[in-house]
Structure 1
Amino acid sequence: MASRLLRLSTPSFRALSLRFKSGTSHSGDYQAALTTSAPTELTSTTNNIRVACQTTTSETTTVGIWLDAGARYEEAQNNGAANFIQRLTFKGTAKRAKANLESEAASLGARLYSFTDREQTAFYATCLNKDVPKIVEILSDAVQNPKLDETDIENERQKILRDSEEIESNVQDVVNDYLHAIAYQGTPLGQTILGPRENVLSLTSKDLKYYIDTHYKASRTVLAASGGVKQNELLQLAELNLGKLDDTFDGEPPVLSRCRYTGSEVRLRDDSLPYAYFALAVEGPGWNSPDRIPLLVATSAIGAYDRSQGKLGENSTYEICHSYQAFNITYSDTGLFGVYSVCEPLQCEHISKAVLEAWHRVSYSITDAELDQAKNRLITKLLAEQSTSKGNCEDIGRSILATGRRTPLNELVATIQNLSNQTVRDITDKYTNNKCPVLSAVGPVENLTDYVNIRTRMYWARV
């Protein structure tokens, strides 16, 4: 019988017990992949744009522009500007109408992507290797010369408002936004990516242009690629298309302000919802912390479950949650390590206890077998994410902006493999034992115990 990570004291908690399937290690598979993993080269243009490339034998390349520009760089009055700009960037430039930009990309069979999160904005595309020069030119034009047409701004304004309404109907997104708002209350990291409704309605082309002029600078930019393109070719394309991107600042360059973490809670009771949705988390480490990888292993050990994907355990009668998922959200200097759960209204208390028990188990009594399986799951996940040019390019751009380097895959895997049981226990204990958690709950959550009770349970003695 497979071992359980959560050894809960009553049958009612069996639904949150994690079962580890027995079987052989996948080390041979990923060791073979590691030996063929190409290095990521990093150089800079004369105007300080970082150019990072992983050359592979692929017939396609994903290439893109990553920028230090996200909700965390915004003030309360312009929160939402980075997302607004990202949505307008492919709407046309000074020399290209929207239809021309889209048709040029489509004629190459390329697919355009873009996103904004709390710390970064990215614009990228996947194309045939021969079309990389043209795609870099299109992306560079879009980023440096967005048209910001008033009609487009008004149309996008309405789309953002509709998206805001859709997010409000997606309870998981609501729980996540509330979690950030209370964990980093009064700081930019607590702001939403879309921004408040009043900002969406009031931001003007002048506001958006000011944000671009302040944040879209050469030293805050990475041109990243993965695929058949070579580093020297990519560097030449960067010099040609982005070499005139300004790198001077009117005053001090924008910096990430320190975001104070505050243990607290928010509950939005709504008995009309069929289930209770909540996330319980603690502050985690930032990108450069040596604690990040051990906590990723701990996250993998706790894992995830969705009732719709099958039964958990031999006695489905005692299933008390519909789904749960451990998460480890990482930012430059902080993070959130926790579990998101969906359950029946009267099971909130059981689930919250089970989450605390999961942290306790990883901190004090995770077995070597459980740890090995958690490591294998994490390594498999990382290999899957980096098995395509798109996944690789996303990892390159994000990593270079966040840490200044991209950790080679073999180095990352070796770090995971070499983690001792005691290290994972100690690091998990460091972040969970006797800490102030954050709790975000939505739905029929009256059964969920009060914050003081949860905080009291965050202290555990070694047994």
Structure 2
Amino acid sequence: MASKLIKAANSLSRTFPRIQKVSGLTAPASQRFRSTDVAAKPSLQLLETETSQLSNGFRVASENSGEPTCTVGLWINAGSRYETEKTNGVAHFLEHMIFKGTSKRSQRDLELEVENMGAHLNAYTSREQTVYYAKCFSKDLERAVEVLADITQNSRLGKDEIERERGVILREMQEVDMNQQEVVFDFLHATAYQGTPLGRTILGPSENILSIQRDDLVEYVNTHYTGDRMVLAAAGGVDHQKLGDLASKYFGKLPRSHPDSAPDFPTRYTGSIIEEREDNMQTAHVALAMEGAPWESTDNIALMVASTHLGSWDRSHGSGTNQVNMFSNQVIANNLAHSYMAFNTCYTDTGLWGMYFVTDKMHLRDMFWLVQNHFMRLCSDITDIEVERAKRFLKTNLLLQLDGTTAVCEDIGRHMLCYDRRIPIAEMIKRIDSLTGDDVRAVVYKYIYDQCPVVAAIGPTEQLPDYNILRSRMQRFRL
């Protein structure tokens, strides 16, 4: 494997309106953003999301659609961001161990009970959240809630199971390493947030997986699995009063977080580049991004419109150069990429907005030029018609993402953690409709124009442009 080269962003004397320094280090998030609470004024929607809260800060939110099935889950404000360098990977390790048996159920008993209910039990860990959820018949809601409470509060975390799970996680890491897109986005975070917890991977380094002990898992549970950091969300055939009673019964005794037990983990964005050259690979996998908006910023919606305008494309789609998307047409006409995908990733106090693409080594320079040229076009030249079209696509995507109780439940849980309320889809659509072309151009200009990008690239990257060249293309020179 070629060595990983991290080149810090070149120092520039200019001061920017949002990023105070362009030498790699930026000002604290509190100085960079003036975030307006997206959750300011609730409005009506067809199916109301009901919310309540227990005395220990535990929140309950549900949407009753009257279906015979439901999805219920725990959304926890805990992820790899809240780990130290020594314990990086413990949140994901804990997710694995949660299903290995409790003080009242063995692993086999747990699996049989879930299967006999005809239910589906699953979990995932991200950089800021850990989620455990069950999809079941509405009549089995209490059994599902009790199982979720049992596994998150009474897991045995046996030493023998911990030793066996190390090998499982190491094999999972090998599978992730074979997914080039996952690797590129891990690299992108590593260079964008270098020196901060947000730059670490979710799975953690292999040496940590081999050294994590039961005490590390117990400490993480005691610190982060507390009432005020949890949301019990449900969607489908769910009565909110009943769900609230179940929450009080099974989660009412959870303690609140101790003020000093969960320290804040601030972040810091660094414009930079990371490259892993592998000439034996057939294609180069690249991500180019800038610092975007955090969850609560109202700028987020305009950035979503901009990324929707760029969209995504893959050769397997079989489309020609007759698309309405100018960027896609140019990619296809010049055979510049195998695929591309615009993205807008948000966190509590920061975000990443950019594009991921796969291309041949001979087209790497031209693809970079095309991507950055369209980034600049978004800042000033995107037309009102294109903005309206992107807004319609975005609204369609949002509605399609709420297809099914699991998707709705996830939307509720994520919103409750990020905004402390569920943003109704009608309100989100109204916010999108209120945007004008000038609004989108102004927000994109703020976050993209003349800003320091981050780049992550793996594969045959011989033709990767120098960072100074990439940085200079983030503005247009006018005579």
Q: Please, which of 133, 136, 153 is the counterpart of residue 127 of structure 1?
A: 136
Name the structure 1 match of 2:189.
180
Q: Please, which of 357, 360, 366 is the counterpart of residue 373 of structure 2?
A: 357
Q: How do 1:40-439 residues align onto structure 2 when only pairs under 5 Å count?
A: 40-249=49-258, 252-313=260-321, 318-439=334-455
Q: Distance in 1 between matches of 2:274 and 2:447?
A: 21
Name the SS of the counterpart of 2:98 in structure 1. helix
Corresponding letter in the other structure for 1:106: E
Matched residues, percent identical? 43
Residues 408-455 of structure 1 show CA distances to partners (whole Å, capped at 9, x for unaligned) of 110001101110000001101111101000000000011121000000
Q: Distance in 2 between matches of 1:152 and 1:231?
A: 37
Q: Distance in 2 between matches of 1:195 and 1:371?
A: 40
Q: CA deviation at 1:255?
A: 4.2
Corresponding letter in the other structure for 1:46: S
* Aligned partners of 1:92 and 1:147 also within 8 Å: yes
Name the SS of the counterpart of 1:313 in structure 2. coil
Q: Distance in 2 between matches of 1:312 and 1:339?
A: 21
CA 393–317 in structure 1, closer or farther in 2 if over 3 Å, else same: closer
Corresponding letter in the other structure for 1:263: G
Name the SS of the counterpart of 1:336 in structure 2. strand
Q: Distance in 2 between matches of 1:65 and 1:81?
A: 18
Name the SS of the counterpart of 2:371 in structure 1. helix
Corresponding letter in the other structure for 1:55: N
Corresponding letter in the other structure for 1:176: F
Q: CA deviation at 1:177?
A: 0.4
Corresponding letter in the other structure for 1:287: W
Q: CA deviation at 1:119?
A: 0.3
Residues 384-404 of structure 1 show CA distances to partners (whole Å, capped at 9, x for unaligned) of 111211001111111111121
* Aligned partners of 1:68 and 1:121 also within 8 Å: yes
Name the structure 1 match of 2:19.
none
Name the SS of the counterpart of 1:76 in structure 2. coil
Name the SS of the counterpart of 1:69 in structure 2. coil
Residues 64-112 of structure 1 show CA distances to partners (whole Å, capped at 9, x for unaligned) of 1111110000000000000000111111111100111111111111111
Q: Distance in 2 between matches of 1:36 and 1:43?
A: 18
Name the SS of the counterpart of 1:94 in structure 2. coil
Q: CA deviation at 1:312?
A: 3.3
CA 401–462 in structure 1, closer or farther in 2 if over 3 Å, else same: farther
Corresponding letter in the other structure for 1:426: A
How many matched pairs?
A: 429
Mean Cα displacement is larger for which, 107-116 or 252-261?
A: 252-261
Q: Distance in 1 between matches of 2:161 and 2:58?
A: 29
Residues 15-54 of structure 1 show CA distances to partners (whole Å, capped at 9, x for unaligned) of xxxxxxxxxxxxxxxxxxx997312111101222000111
Structure 2, unaligned stretches of length 5 or more?
A: 1-42, 323-328
Q: Distance in 2 between matches of 1:113 and 1:395?
A: 16
Corresponding letter in the other structure for 1:131: D
1:459 counterpart = 2:459: no
* Aligned partners of 1:364 and 1:462 also within 8 Å: no
Q: Distance in 1 between matches of 2:377 and 2:165?
A: 48
Structure 1, unaligned stretches of length 5 or more?
A: 1-33
Q: Distance in 1 between matches of 2:416 and 2:45?
A: 22
* Aligned partners of 1:113 and 1:124 also within 8 Å: yes
* Aligned partners of 1:281 and 1:439 also within 8 Å: yes
* Aligned partners of 1:79 and 1:199 also within 8 Å: yes
Mean Cα displacement is larger for which, 44-53 or 364-373?
A: 364-373
Q: Distance in 1 between matches of 2:352 and 2:118?
A: 39
Corresponding letter in the other structure for 1:273: M
Q: Distance in 2 between matches of 1:460 and 1:420?
A: 23
* Aligned partners of 1:175 and 1:277 also within 8 Å: yes
Q: CA deviation at 1:317?
A: 6.0
CA 243–369 in structure 1, closer or farther in 2 if over 3 Å, else same: same
Q: Distance in 2 between matches of 1:429 and 1:373?
A: 20
Superposed CA RMSD in Å reads: 1.6
Q: Distance in 2 between matches of 1:339 and 1:317?
A: 19
* Aligned partners of 1:137 and 1:241 also within 8 Å: yes
More helix by share: 1
